[in-house]
Amino acid sequence: MAEERPVPVKTILVSIGLVVASYVALYLVVKLVHIWTLMVVALFFAILFTPPVDFLKRHLHVTKGIATTLVLLLTLGLVAGMMYAFISPLVDQTRHFVDRFPVYLEDARAGRGPVGHLVRKYDLDQKFEDNRTKINDAISGAGSSVLKYSRKVFAGVISGLTVLVLSILMILYGPQMLANGLGALSPPRQERCKAVARDCARALTGYAMGNLLISVIAGVCTFIALWIFGVPFKGVLALFVGFCDLIPLIGATLGAIPTILVAFLHSTTAGVGMIIVYVVYQQFENHVLQVAIMSKTVNINQLVVITSVLIGVELAGFLGALLAIPVAGVLQVIARDVWDNRTGRLKHEPTIGADEIPVSELDDDTSGADTSGADTSGADTSGAGDPPGASDPPDAADAHPLADGADTAGDPTPVPYGD
């Protein structure tokens, strides 16, 4: 019977160390999940803003800091303009309602106007008196709710500023940090990582630009349709549809619901017309715009799109829905690179022989040999006319192992080799 050997102390200590390290790593991931989220969002915006920063730097001949500042100011200006166009009509209508509120109240008490008709028909004044205590309690409790939501808004503003600062720092110092990190790898691995990073950045920026373009088209179509039907607040509704259309798959439908309701409040004809407009536009977006724009940026299977969006919503809510497809595109790029390097991918240009001579160079050599060798075979044999000290050029057979002197004029069959 074999004697049982005790487990070495070193193995026990290593096992305990791995368990402790795993626990600490998991604890940090869970505890700092908000920080990781801000970092991921900042990285997304940094990659998105890098092309315009490089464009301004290259064409205006300014430093990267100045180009980043210009892009930041332009972006903030556009966002502020859209928010003003969205909020200004709401503020004006609220102010108008507050100014007219005493008149509405008198009409309601006297039974005049549409509000007074409803009050008289449903005996709302008596119901209000019966539930006055409950209404006062609800109004008193609304103060705490306002304070709670104010805290959330303040926390959101702080998070937004943090993302902005992180994005700027990533744009300025990210490339140098990435280069320093890649410096520890071998040259082939450096080139591979750079190629994958370029493809990932192209997928992110392409998706963002394509999605933004589709949202602009949706907002413009909504504005034109509402203008034709004479529906009020067409600017606000068009901006709302444009914002909602940023959400993949269901964004246009979410934006269409309140727009159709407002159109029905204006007239039945406008409501039915907007339904027809959105049904036609949804088909146009799904079968024309998505195919024409997204196929050139992030070509992902629709099942993968839906699955990624559902996972993103479950993990991070609205933010996860926005970032789901870009993340899926990045994972697709990485998976494709791993697959290509595992299975071997054909080179961009086939090569010949063990020396892997490119076909283009081979064609140049053979064409040169045909031109120089025509009607000069006797001179080459006798060596007459050669200047002193000149050496004969190598035969075509010495240029590559698969060609001989008799077949130099023919094009050999290229044999592709895997990477």
Going from N- to C-terminal start, the domains of the chain cover 32-184, 188-332, 346-369+409-419
pLDDT at 395: 47
Q: Residue 370: which of 406, 415, 414, 412 has the closest Cα? A: 406
pLDDT at 141: 63
φ/ψ bin of 392: left (φ > 0), alpha (ψ from -120 to 50), beta (otherwise): beta
Q: Residue 210: which of 142, 108, 298 has the closest Cα? A: 298
Residue given tokens 């600062």 in the structure block = 165
Tens digits of residue pLDDT in 301-310: 667 777 887 8
pLDDT at 92: 78
CA 120 to centroid of chain Cα atoms: 55
pLDDT at 410: 44
Q: Residue 238: which of 218, 253, 252, 254 has the closest Cα? A: 218
Residues of the chain with pLDDT under 50: 1, 369-419
pLDDT at 276: 93
pLDDT at 125: 67
Alpha-carbon gap, residue 252 to 268, rounded angstroms = 21
Mention every residue, 6+ apart, whose C-beta is less than 8 A from residue 323.
Answer: 40, 41, 44, 312, 316
Which residues pair with residue 357 across a beta bridge? Answer: 352
Alpha-carbon radius of gyration of the chain: 35
Alpha-carbon gap, residue 233 to 95, rounded angstroms = 16
Residue 54 tokens, joined: 């490089």
pTM to 2 decimal places: 0.62
Tens digits of residue pLDDT in 140-192: 665 566 677 778 888 888 888 898 899 999 888 888 888 888 888 888 888 88
Tens digits of residue pLDDT in 39-98: 888 888 888 888 889 889 888 888 888 999 999 899 888 888 888 877 887 777 777 777
Alpha-carbon gap, residue 413 to 402, rounded angstroms = 10
pLDDT at 243: 85
Mention every residue, 6+ apart, whose C-beta is less than 8 A from residue 351.
Answer: 357, 358, 359, 414, 415, 416, 417
pLDDT at 122: 67
